[in-house]
Chains A and B, each alone.
Chain A
Amino acid sequence: DVKVTQSSRYLVKRTGEKVFLECVQDMDHENMFWYRQDPGLGLRLIYFSYDVKMKEKGDIPEGYSVSREKKERFSLILESASTNQTSMYLCASSLSGGNEQFFGPGTRLTVL
């Protein structure tokens, strides 16, 4: 079975802090994705990566950056956290050319 793990289930940070969210998948998937989930808005794509060191902006990249130094690991970085970034963050992966994404358990981030 595909396994996608995220570094933290719950995280509380202060405004202005730099925040790192890490995601690791164990199925050798080429594609990895970061979403945020807010009530009534569904899942919105922040960034995705289709190969090591490659990254593409999603629909809401402002205030975020990403890093993919190894195939299995995709990190989401909040350079200076703000209260409007309080949300559930979900990581997913899929095979190259595939549409079926597999999700991690999510990180619920609260920015105070």
Chain B
Amino acid sequence: GQQLNQSPQSMFIQEGEDVSMNCTSSSIFNTWLWYKQDPGEGPVLLIALYKAGELTSNGRLTAQFGITRKDSFLNISASIPSDVGIYFCAGNAGGTSYGKLTFGQGTILTVHP
């Protein structure tokens, strides 16, 4: 099936630093989503992208839908300790997929105070 390659697998940063992670696919997606999962909880939707080239912000988070429709990235500016968690990208190929998502492997973010 479709696969998403998410990188990096993990990041260790100091509080205040900016963070960047990305997701690439071998096939085209019509929608890109970014989720965050806190320890012991379910993923929570951060940003949804619906159009190639779209750049969307949510507070300190910014995500972009790649122009080729095969990639997306997420930036976090001025990181804080509560940014710790696992970040997942997800894509939907459209058509008759019933809203099925393909998920990346996740990026584990650790923020040192």
Contact = CB atoms under 8 A, between A and B. Distances in A.
A90 interface: yes
Interface stretch (A12-20, A35-43, A61-69, A76-84): A35-43
A95 B41 CA distance: 22
A106 B41 contact: yes
A8 interface: no
A96 B96 CA distance: 11
Interface stretch (B13-21, B72-80, B102-110): B102-110
B98 A104 contact: no
B79 to A, nearest CB: 22
A31 interface: yes
Interface residues of B, number: 25
Contacts, number: 63
A103 B43 CA distance: 6
Contact of A102 (B6, B45, B90): B45
Contacts of A96: 99
Contacts of A44: 103
A42 B99 contact: no
B92 to A, nearest CB: 4
A48 B100 contact: yes
A26 B86 CA distance: 26
Nearest to A95: B99
11 contacts: A4-B42, A40-B105, A42-B4, A42-B88, A94-B99, A99-B31, A99-B101, A100-B45, A101-B90, A102-B45, A103-B42
